[in-house]
Structure 1
Amino acid sequence: QRMIKRNALMRRLKAVETLGSATIICSDKTGTLTQNEMMVSEIAVDGTRYRVTGSGYSPEGDFFIGNERADLNDSLRLVLTIGMLCNDAHVQGNQVAGDPTEAALIVAANKAGMVKDDLEETYPRKKDIPFSSERKRMTTIHEINGEQVVYVKGAPDIILELCTQVLEDGSPVPLHDEKREEILSVYNDMASRALRALAMAYRHLPLKGESRESIESIESIESIEKDLIFVGLQGMRDDPRPEVREAVKTCEDAGIKSMMITGDFKTTAVAIADEVGISGEAITGEELDAFSDEALRERVGSLGVVARVSPEHKTRIVEVLRNQGHIVAMTGDGVNDAPSLKKADIGIAMGITGTDVAKEAADMVLTDDNFASIVTAIEEGRHIYDNIIKFIYFLLCCNVGEIFVLFFAILLGFSRPLIPIQILWINLVTDGFPALALGVDPPEAGLMKRPPRDPAESIFSKGRGRSILEIGLLMSVLVLVAFTWVGKDVDHARTVAFSTLVFVQMAHTVNCRSERRSLLDIGLFSNKYLTGAVMLSVLLQLSVVYTPWLQPLFGTVALGFQDWIIIVALSLIIVGFGELRKWMKALVIKKNN
């Protein structure tokens, strides 16, 4: 329930524990680090750069050249038409069905007065070749004025390779290397300003005899997507989520590295990474392919951005990171992301944009697709693990203390200080409520200032095993002191010992709340559930001491005021011992630092 409140749906319970050990988050860019609300803000066509105004998916906006409102010429209309028709999304008001990138292209055309339904009726689609992460482009074929016209949109560097002509002054001219470099320069400029640019191109299908070649007779995709005429670029802005920069900083403080892995152009990815605070070297999937596994192992720790990646690249990165001992959290939303999600220690699928296949492969689903929710889930994972440790540590200390009481009593030839029903009462009732309350203890301050937990760490790591023995031994000594102090009446002495053990264990709950911080820092009553649980356990203990019909059952007798002074005084000793251990531990840490 706590994870769901943090927008993280856990599909596998083990992932909650693993989250606390995560050392690196490999995150996609679009929608996770950014708001996934694309808006075309710049268009480059026919040698002219247009600025597009507006906000979000509202069709209100204009086109400007500098500060002057621009006329909608044929070239500008063509680049907008291609963006609208070579498109599978639909926009109704602020509601988007489909990819946000395609929605932005529709909205840009809406600002020019174009309506998608009208265009699709006038220029019906006859065939399409869908976008894929490998092809990095989409193609549609439309019937326009009796002709069959191919529209293509996609990554500028990919589209340029398929073009042999470019639109200049409204007419196609040969695409020379100089012009190609000029277009790439415009593209790089857009990318450096964190704009995601898509290129638009077209061609008419060739004549075959007296009629145009039929779509059915086209033998391959290559025969369609060739000899294209380059029209222009549409640059989209997808602003980073405002909370992501702080989340990345929190990761850094917590010893967790953030890495952006995206299909976008390298320059765009680096610009967004700079805005959100992700640092490190940037490479592309092509450069990644050139690395041997050994070379990649040497460099992967310094990487901050990996751009132009395929799903296979994601899987390879996860494998290399895991081989280096990292605990990897990997995000994904597509069908092709399933292998990397399964390979990662924590596969994280997107709840809004993610496919069912990705969600099935993941350990965790983000209900808001937000990087910051991964960080809060990691914080919650650390919190849950800490509380599990507190719960187990408390019960082990109590059980070891009870064992030592009986062991030393037999060893020293004492009468039994505890009878079976008293031990059963302590284990099932008075210990149970405080232990459960420790399981819902508030998170400690500085939870995300600590390095990730070693997955091999156990309840007995970091000196906890020795601490359990020390606390258990001290509990037994205090109980036996109480047992021998109060006199020769066995029932009276046993009642004092019984109550001392309960009160000592209740006092020990405050020691269990933190391994580092003093009770004075934490606050005695900062966990209201623990306060209530201790009070309930004390009242229950008083009931078995003073209720006449329970006294024979539990072998107790009524205690006097002096008895309670002894019991409370002995109980406070264990609090002092716990505080002393924390103080000494702090001195050692300070000395080592």
Structure 2
Amino acid sequence: MNTQWHSLSSDETLKRLSTCEDGLSTEDVVGRVQKFGYNELQEKAAVSPLMLLIAQFNSLLIIILFTAALISLIFGKLPEAISIITIVIFAGVLGFIQEFRAGKALQALKKMAAPTAIVIRNGKEQEIPSRELVPGDVIKIAMGDKVPADARIIKCANLKVEESALTGESLSVEKHTSAIAGENIPLGDRNNILFAGTSISFGRGTAVVVETGMETEFGKIAGMLQSTEEERTPLQINLDQLGKKLGIFAIALAAIMSVFQIVQIVASGSITADKMMEVFIWGVALAVAVIPEALPAVVTISLALGVRRMVKRKALIRKLPAVETLGATNIICSDKTGTLTQDAMTIRKIYTGGTEYAVTGNGYEPKGEIKAGDTSVQKLPEPLYELLNSGTLCNDTKLIQEDNEWKIIGDPTEGAIVVAAVKGGMDIIKKREESPRLYEIPFSSESKKMTTVNKQGKELIVSAKGALEMLLSECKYIHSAEGIREINQNDIDEIYRVYASFANTALRVLTICGKKIQMELTSFKTIALEANESEAVRNDLDRLIESDLVFYGLVGMFDPPREEVKAAIITCEKAGIRPIMITGDHKDTAVAVARELGILKHGGALSGQELDQLTDEEFINSVDNTDVYARISPAHKLKIVDALMKKGNVVAMTGDGVNDAPSLKKANIGVAMGITGTDVSKEAAKMILTDDNFSSIVAAIEEGRSIFENIRKYLVYLLSGNMGTVFGILITFFLGYSLPINAVQILFINFIMDGLVAIALGVEPPEPGIMNRKPRDTKEGILNGITIKAITVLSVWIAIVTTFAYAYTHLFAEHPAGLSPEQIDAEASTMFFLTLLIARFFNGFNCRSLTRSIFTVPVFSNKSLLVNIVVSVVLTWFLFFVEPLRKAFGLVKITDIGEIIVIAAASFSLLIFGELMKYLFRDTLNKNSNL
């Protein structure tokens, strides 16, 4: 309905919705269901699994391979056909599995909906399925309930709501019934509205439903999720482009050479069916030689191996192409709470007795000390003791240790006070046992304070904590360094000065007060019991307890940055990656944390309201110099990510709440939190951090860069080998020889042998200084100038040595008498095959680094390469010494010592030639080594 419900009073809201506190009638409900529909999320029709599977086989490379298999089948080449089809199906199934697991974010969002709701209809309370709620329904909510729809609060008592799934902020929000002036107020500030999918953490209330289904804030997120297209990764785009180019080249080359052969046959006047079949088989072999059949499987497997390595670095990849995307990332949009910070409120400063104290240590681990200046406080001064004593007693939070990790059970703000007390040497468990609570005035959004009465020894101790403006007016005394005395204006001025200094450094400031009640224990207990029965007695007792308090002091706390994040930010700077903070927290707090971490470089910070005031052009221009976004809505996040991506950036976006899901899906690489993240955010993301730590993103980017560099290495390896084979075939053809290698032999090398070596290159350790380079330009393509140069040079040399080995058998080798030309051709073909195979083994060592000499790369730093080459040698041995295999592949035994020496020398020369290439082109290689 797009009404600013927060700006209306309770009565105005009821009137606008034509309802009342007794709820709707049955007739009203029927009409509204027809008008507004059911209170549920609508889902677009999904792609069927069958269509998803078929989509895996619609690339040009796959079509060419299928065509090659069909031609092989027509001409009775069953081994070739089976080999090609097996490769195609294997790669397609891998792709289907990955995509089928994606796209479950909306289902996870649906699971967050409340199954039932307590509603007032026809003046009576009843429980109904939440999908049957309509605008105008009056609902009742209490602690532990999930909110079933967006609703305007009309009555509440001490109501707190946990909205982290929607806003990203972990602290419970205090709710009230008063109208909030202003339009486009951030969700986190609409404290008179309940949002569907959030949870009631304390208190109870009554509210009128204002939005249902897709019109709720959750519904809007669902709509954005379904309308947001996932961006294809640079690797997917580059591989598609490469596949098309190779496919077109393969078809063109095979067609041209086939036509050339047919012309020769026609010119010679010897056209026969057998010769035409040979032409087709020759064309298929040439096409197969061009295409790196192992590439789809090798890319998938190497990315999967990269995923395994990333798990060890606390990053879980959900979608394989995201591994490579990380390597191109140049912007990280990070949430603040829990990712850049510890999500553990910590007291940093204390003011009491006229002295300002610093508290060391971060998080909930009670490790640290309280210091006055540079001096550690060994014995707590009386004012400081009273402040921590009252803060501990007026407190329901427990500090525990589980699995060597300190945690709190309760409110983070109270947890910070408990930890500070322990740092001050207090035994809080013993203190609470010795000081039982007798009475409590609970916190409320109206009073903004909490007060307790405890029995401590023979005394009755009042302890209060809350907002300064609510407690200072109740203070008649102050605990100075000299003792308790009446408070004066100078004291008040000093308190406000300290409060301002704390607040200006983005500390959350809490006031702590207390006193001793001069009353007999039995008398107090009697009055407390009466207070439970009489509101008048309770009000009188509350006034007695909360009057003439002693001001103990102020505590300033904040959520500290993670210790390791500063180092990660510095690494980002060196790596050319720009971190941006996007948070639902207040602007001052966000700026302070960003400044401390070193994120605030360009000096720009925008709130959600400021962002709304910008024109589209102004906003697009602002993203280049804005480092911090605060009080941001889901739509804002999506807008920010979209603007950054339109400017050509590769954007990683972190998030843990439902509100983050659309932007996580939109970003090049969505990063969800594994600990605090909702199922919705995890399903929308491509990567999950198992430790919720920003530094793990940076570690994952390093892995991503390494993986992309390794992809380039094995592309150089695969394509130089394939093109070397093609050039060798062409050279032998123009020299007048027959086809030197058949399609099955090519497939064996391309898929089995090359696959094993390429997979090993995929796990090559990162090059030194990989995080001291700028992110690679995604427009450059997976094959840049230097890789094309390396492929060209290496492939030419492979063609030369394989052709030489083939020609050697025809021109120089000694053959037994009576050997037929066909047998000599088979021997020459075997020479070509073996030289090509072993040369490509040595080429694998060449490609371990495109810039460094292989003799400077530690031999055992990639054990997989050594193991896989040994496996390849064993498979080759079987190929030659198991007679049925040898015959199936059209090979013969090589026994001539001269031929064996030629194979060894020709193959090994590739390693020497590779070293020469690196030496001659080293300056160019190093200059172009940036990812």
TM over 0.5: yes
Superposed CA deviations along residues 534-592 of structure 1, whole A, max 9, x for unmatched, are 23323443554466665544331223332232223222343344334434543336789
In the alignment, the residues of structure 2 paired with residue 65 and residue 367 of structure 1 have an alpha-carbon distance, to the nearest angstrom, of 39
Instruction: Tell me the equivalent position of 1:187.
Output: 502
Rounded to whole Å, the distance in 1 between the matches of 2:477 and 2:333 is: 45
Give the aligned partner of residue 278 of structure 1: 599
What secondary structure does 1:84 align onto? coil
Look up the equivalent residue of 2:605 and give its one-letter code. Answer: I
Q: Is the 8 A contact 1:487 1:493 kept in 2?
A: yes
2:477 is aligned to: 169
The 1:311–1:41 alpha-carbon spacing in structure 2 relative to 1, beyond 3 Å, is same
Q: How many Å apart are 1:24 and its aligned residue?
A: 1.3
Deviation at 1:373, TM superposition (A): 0.9
Aligned to 2:737, the other structure's residue is in SS state: coil
Instruction: Give the structure 2 partner of residue 384 of structure 1.
Output: 707
Read off the aligned partner of 1:234 and give its amino acid letter. V
Query: Are the counterparts in 2 of residues 96 and 103 from structure 1 also a CA contact under 8 Å?
Result: yes
**Residues in 2 aligned to 1:98 and 1:316: alpha-carbon distance in whole angstroms:** 35
C-alpha deviation, 1:59, in angstroms: 6.9
Counterpart in the other structure of 2:320: 13
The aligned residue for residue 234 of structure 1 is: 555
Question: 2 CA distance for matches of 1:62 and 1:446?
Answer: 39
Q: 1:568 maps to what in 2?
A: 904
Cα deviations across residues 429-456 of structure 1 (Å, max 9, x unaligned)? 3333212222222222222222223344
Letter in 2 for 1:472: S
Provide the rounded CA distance (Å) in 1 between the counterparts of 2:871 and 2:844. Answer: 14
- Judged with a 3 Å threshold, the aligned counterparts in structure 2 of structure 1 residues 427 and 334 are, in CA distance, closer, same or farther, namely closer
Q: Secondary structure at the match of 1:431?
A: helix
Q: For 1:169, what is the secondary structure of its paired residue?
A: strand
Report whether the alignment pairs 1:398 with 2:697.
no
Per-residue CA deviation, residues 469-488 of structure 1 (Å, 9 max, x unaligned), is: 55434323321221112335
Aligned counterpart, 1:197: 508
Match 1:42 to one of 332, 341, 349 = 349
2:833 matches 1:498: yes
Residues 1:521 and 2:837 aligned together: no
Q: 1:101 to 1:576 in 2, by over 3 A?
A: farther
The residue that corresponds to 1:252 in the other structure is 573
Mean alpha-carbon deviation: is it higher for 73-82 or for 281-290?
73-82
Cα distance in 1 for residues equivalent to 2:751 and 2:928: 42
Seen in structure 2, the aligned counterparts of structure 1 residues 271 and 586 have a Cα distance that, compared at 3 Å, is farther
1:544-555 alignment, distance < 5 Å: 544-545=879-880, 551-553=886-888, 554-555=890-891
Q: Does 1:80 align with 2:403?
A: no
Say which of 735, 739, 755 aligns to 1:432: 755
- The AA in structure 2 aligned to 1:187 is F
Structure 1 residue 197 displacement after superposition: 2.7
Unaligned segments of structure 1, at least 5 residues: 130-136, 154-158, 203-209, 216-228
Matches of residues 535-546 of structure 1 in structure 2 within 5 Å? 535-545=870-880
- Is the CA contact (8 Å cut-off) linking 1:166 and 1:172 kept in structure 2? no
Given residue 105 of structure 1, which amino acid in structure 2 is its aligned partner?
A: I
- Alpha-carbon distance between aligned partners in 1 of 2:920 and 2:323, rounded to the nearest angstrom: 32
CA contact (8 A) 1:47 1:168 kept: no
Corresponding position of 2:843:
508
Tell me which residue corresponds to 1:104: 416
Q: 1:21, 1:455 within 8 Å by CA — same for their partners in 2?
A: yes
Verify the 8 A CA contact 1:269 1:305 in the aligned structure 2. yes
Is the contact between residue 11 and residue 365 of structure 1 (CA under 8 Å) also seen in structure 2? yes
Identify the range of structure 1 (533-542 vs 62-71) with the bigger mean alpha-carbon deviation.
62-71
- With over 3 angstroms needed to count, the CA separation of the structure-2 counterparts of 1:385 and 1:73, relative to structure 1, is closer
In structure 2, what is the equivalent of residue 330 of structure 1? 653
In the TM superposition, residue 230 of structure 1 has moved relative to its aligned partner by 10
2:755 partner amino acid: G
Shift of 1:5: 0.8
CA contact (8 A) 1:166 1:175 kept: no
Q: Would you say the 8 A contact 1:264–1:308 is kept in 2? A: yes
Match of residue 894 from structure 2? 558
1:77-156 paired onto structure 2 within 5 Å:
80=391, 84=395, 89-93=397-401, 94-97=406-409, 100-108=412-420, 122-124=438-440
Cα drift, residue 23 of structure 1: 0.6
**Amino acid in structure 2 at the alignment position of 1:27:** S
Q: Secondary structure at the match of 1:487?
A: helix
SS in 1 for 2:765: coil
> Which residue of structure 1 aligns with residue 281 of structure 2?
none
Q: Distance in 2 between matches of 1:60 and 1:524?
A: 45
The CA distance in 2 between the partners of 1:120 and 1:320, in whole Å, is 57
Please, which of 697, 707, 712 is the counterpart of residue 374 of structure 1? 697
Give the direction of change, closer, same or farther, for the CA distance of 1:83–1:579 in structure 2 (3 Å limit).
Answer: farther
1:35-74 superposed matches below 5 A:
35-44=342-351, 49-50=356-357, 57=364, 69-72=380-383
How far off is 1:375 after superposition? 0.8
Map of 1:205 onto structure 2: none
Distance 1:109 1:560, change over 3 A: same
Residue identity in the other structure for 1:497: F
Instruction: Give the SS at the match of 1:18.
Output: helix
SS at match of 1:20: helix
The secondary structure found in structure 2 opposite 1:69 is coil
Alignment-derived partner of residue 416 in structure 1: 739
The answer to which of 100-109 and 166-175 deviates more is 166-175
Whether contact under 8 Å (2:452, 2:463) holds in the other structure is no
Change (3 A) 1:267 1:534: same
CA shift for structure 1 position 152:
7.8
The answer to whether the 8 Å contact 1:46/1:75 transfers is no
Deviations 1:30-59, CA, capped at 9 Å, x for gaps: 433344554424223686535557886467
Q: Give the distance between the partners of 2:493 and 2:616, measured in 1 at CA.
A: 38
Taking structure 1 as reference, are residues 44 and 353 closer, same or farther at Cα in structure 2, changes over 3 Å only?
Answer: farther
Rounded to whole Å, the distance in 2 between the matches of 1:175 and 1:483 is 101
- Is residue 166–residue 173 contact of structure 1 (8 Å, CA) maintained in 2? no
Once residues 644 and 390 of structure 2 are traced to their aligned partners in structure 1, the CA distance between those partners, rounded to angstroms, is 43
- Aligned partners of 2:624, 2:881: CA distance in 1, in Å? 65
Matched, 1:31 2:338: yes
Cα 1:485/1:540, change in 2 over 3 Å: same
Which has the higher Rg, Structure 1 or Structure 2? 2
| Structure 1 contact 165–174 (Cα < 8 Å) conserved | no
Q: Aligned pair in 2 of structure 1 residues 481, 382: CA closer, same or farther (>3 Å)? A: same
Matches within 5 A, 1:257-268: 257-262=578-583
Q: Distance between the aligned counterparts of 1:128 and 1:431, measured in 2? A: 70
Alpha-carbon separation, structure 1, partners of 2:655 and 2:662: 10
2:758, 2:365 → 1: CA distance?
55
| Structure-to-structure mapping, 1:343-358, within 5 angstroms | 343-358=666-681
Deviates more, 1:530-539 or 1:436-445: 530-539
Matched residues in 1 for 2:317 and 2:491: separation? 54
Q: Which amino acid is the alignment partner of residue 438 of structure 2?
A: T
Q: CA deviation at 1:414?
A: 0.6
In 2, are the aligned partners of 1:251 and 1:257 still within 8 Å (CA)? yes
Is structure 2 residue 922 aligned with structure 1 residue 586?
yes
SS of match in other structure, 2:894: coil
Question: 1-side partners of 2:696 and 2:679: how far apart?
Answer: 20
Offset, 1:64: 7.5
Aligned residues: 552
TM-score normalised per structure 2 = 0.51
Instruction: Please tell me whether the aligned partners of residues 713 and 850 of structure 2 are also in contact (alpha carbons under 8 angstroms).
Output: no
- Counterpart in 1 of 2:257? none
Q: Distance in 1 between matches of 2:851 and 2:751?
A: 29
